[in-house]
Structure 1
């Protein structure tokens, strides 16, 4: 039986796993646009608060929105560069007008976009999920070295010690701990790694001291939105990219939780994201999308119910209202966070490989679908300059390895199978008594 206390601990683990990625987007955009410290404090706080709201929209299932999976939403990283460009050249009002318009577009197109479900058989879905994990692993590796590979002290002995110590702690708990403690491997690793870093003098409490105690979300904090067509078109393209990525996350979670993802589920999921993006524009934060790192956490903990995610959403909203408490999550050193991220992202890739293990790779070109999609997706991730001479609009798609993989796999599957292969989520599996206990 999953008690409230255990669910809360698991929810906190989800928050710690996604917190750095969630605050990175407002830090990058706000810093590039030139926000002052007061504006940055608001931006980060409201971003965390809205992550909780966006997550709740996916958890509350009704006939209109909410996919009902244990999914956590955070700011879409692919939106960073376009939003910096729009905000710097056209102004903050135009930037938020484009965000609101893209959310409305996602709401309107959700029904049509959900029909792509048939283009995502296991050979496509497994390939996309594998690439999602593999393309994220370098992010964790960079953090293991200290955060930025261009920094002078990158890969220092202290950083590597903390990173691999965190990995070792998580690994030992996974291998030797029992029951509920085993499902908390990530949070224990993060706390233990941070404690050791504090003894080594590598933890600063300055962010906690500088943060305010309480904060109230205010709509249109940075002014009235302005709607400009070229900026709107740019953000609509970004929203399509986010929908493609989210589709992979939804199918990954469906596979982990043994839940079949139907067209109606996708439609409600896209609508929830559209609503979250609209609210993000109104409260002057950024577009939201399903976070991949939390998929690995669901798989690793073995807890498939939504209950911990409700607590995670509540914690995010609380942290957004009380910045001083939320600041504690920001003191986790980069190497410690990186050690945990490499494991989580590796788990996402492993989930994709498991799905591909159920695919007959000897059947009508399936092997070629996987090979070429993986090759192009990972290749673009490593060498994004490949398409540097194409129009900026096209680069919105070609610059993202996950999207390149998705497009390649969908097109090849359609050519090879001519639409004969109907998509199915992971086959329904009878739950063992142990598995049933995990979801209670």
Structure 2
């Protein structure tokens, strides 16, 4: 009965204590009750047991009983059900597909290759892009950032590939890619140490700049890339793009759960069907060509190594490393997960590995894309596994060529409308980050003002640097690279004397709709 009176008094203390949770933890640690090993046996029926008081783990002392609950998994590591997983992966592929296939088509046309060889380049590009996307999403050892990022052929590599290929042959191009790819992997850890140069104001500027420079890519898909063409800006194309954008807005407004997350894919599908029915696209060429595309190592002969060509590609590599680092920081802000130097090094190693493989399998210089980051922000699905499925889909498209030809047959105004929406969403993510910057400090204002202004020059005036030497043009024509470097330099100019740079806080992601409940 003595124990019964003590139990009753303890329960009264807990009920009357201003912080019963903390009091419970305190009693469990021995303050206000006997030690756990000295407690009597469980109460008999004459002495009914009081409410259980769970002990607090020693490692979480002072955090109360909630400390015993495991923390929820990061949204990046959530695994949707199989059905939604495939559809979400296809959605990522559709958003970035045009950016993947345009490089081999342009390079092949620039070198005057026959249609069959261009088709082989497209197949190789899709397979390597799929492998890179899988590595970035899932990660293997020190390769892959393990984030929802996709990989594709870098448009920055078009000019040197055409220049070197037309004068010295593709064997020299691929010999150079093999060398710079290996160097890329080796210097990735050193380059990632520069991450401390990306405080909040620089990161927000880079994300905004990436989005703004990508929007014209979508606009060119809608209106056309040649202003002198007779069908440039055709009203029918603009109407189809406007219809697709309207569908995207309506579907995001009306749909919830899984359908809301797939609004982009549904709008693309409906827009493509309307385009085919109205004659703005055609499926006639889907049956033409081989069924399977296979990688052909050293298809253009033994590799040739030329030092000037390698140096030219190294300039491209520096630009791509700057851009890819910005993509890694951008996706970290969107998914709400901190990205450190080790993550950036893992990201860069994948790009270098794929570029080295391109030297053997006749591919291109590869880089981590930012095309799908806006889609992640729109859908609120931050899991990396749909992107991994997207990597598998890219490989299938590269091997089973008719499937890829169906996707390629989607009218460009439809793809362009989806691209404009996703790139604008990425821009908004950058603006949200910049909204937390203290613009009462003149330095922050100047950093954003000049970096955006200079970084947007290539998008607004493509021939602005026409009179510069070719090597300088390679760097200056990348608005993201010039804007990023300028933002870093200006930040050092204004804030170098500070002992600690203002770091970019990680935005907390809004909870995504549970796919399993849809």
Global fold match (TM > 0.5):
yes
1:111-130 equivalences in 2 (<5 Å): 111-130=189-208
Gaps of 5+ in 1: none
**Structure with greater contact order relative to length (CA < 8 Å, sep ≥ 6):** 1
Shift of 1:383: 2.3
Shift of 1:96: 0.8
The C-alpha deviation readout for 1:383-420, integer Å capped at 9, x for no partner, is 24333333221221112111110111000001111063
Among residues 452, 472, 489, which one is paired with 1:374 in the alignment?
452
SS at match of 1:285: coil
Shift of 1:90: 1.0
How far apart are the structure 2 equivalents of 1:384 and 1:157? 25
The C-alpha deviation readout for 1:286-339, integer Å capped at 9, x for no partner, is 011111111111111111011101110110111111111111001111111111
**Paired positions, count:** 438
* Aligned twin of 2:19: none
Among residues 170, 176, 196, which one is paired with 2:248 in the alignment?
170
1:341-352 equivalences in 2 (<5 Å): 341-352=419-430
Q: 1:419 to 1:238 in 2, by over 3 A?
A: farther
Among residues 174, 199, 204, which one is paired with 2:282 in the alignment?
204
Please identify the structure whose Cα radius of gyration is greater. Answer: 2
The reply to whether residue 332 of structure 1 matches residue 410 of structure 2 is: yes
* Aligned twin of 1:156: 234
Q: 1:439 to 1:18 in 2, by over 3 A?
A: farther
- Structure with the bigger percentage of helix: 1
Shift of 1:375: 0.9
Shift of 1:262: 0.7
Among residues 88, 99, 110, which one is paired with 1:32 in the alignment?
110
The C-alpha deviation readout for 1:254-298, integer Å capped at 9, x for no partner, is 001111011111111111111111112211010111111111111
Among residues 387, 398, 408, which one is paired with 2:465 in the alignment?
387
Q: 1:28 to 1:372 in 2, by over 3 A?
A: same
How far apart are the structure 1 equivalents of 2:161 and 2:224? 27
* Aligned twin of 1:190: 268
The reply to whether residue 422 of structure 1 matches residue 501 of structure 2 is: yes
* Aligned twin of 2:158: 80
The C-alpha deviation readout for 1:199-228, integer Å capped at 9, x for no partner, is 112222233121311122121122222110
How far apart are the structure 1 equivalents of 2:514 and 2:281? 39
How far apart are the structure 1 equivalents of 2:350 and 2:198? 21
Q: 1:419 to 1:137 in 2, by over 3 A?
A: farther
* Aligned twin of 2:355: 277
How far apart are the structure 1 equivalents of 2:464 and 2:236? 36
Among residues 222, 228, 231, which one is paired with 2:300 in the alignment?
222
* Aligned twin of 2:186: 108
* Aligned twin of 1:362: 440
Task: Compute the RMSD of aligned alpha carbons.
Answer: 1.8
How far apart are the structure 1 equivalents of 2:435 and 2:469? 38
* Aligned twin of 2:342: 264
Q: 1:83 to 1:174 in 2, by over 3 A?
A: same
1:32-51 equivalences in 2 (<5 Å): 32-51=110-129
The C-alpha deviation readout for 1:136-188, integer Å capped at 9, x for no partner, is 11121122224543321112221111010000001101112111111112111
How far apart are the structure 2 equivalents of 1:316 and 1:252? 23
The C-alpha deviation readout for 1:354-384, integer Å capped at 9, x for no partner, is 1111111112510111001111111243224
SS at match of 2:246: helix
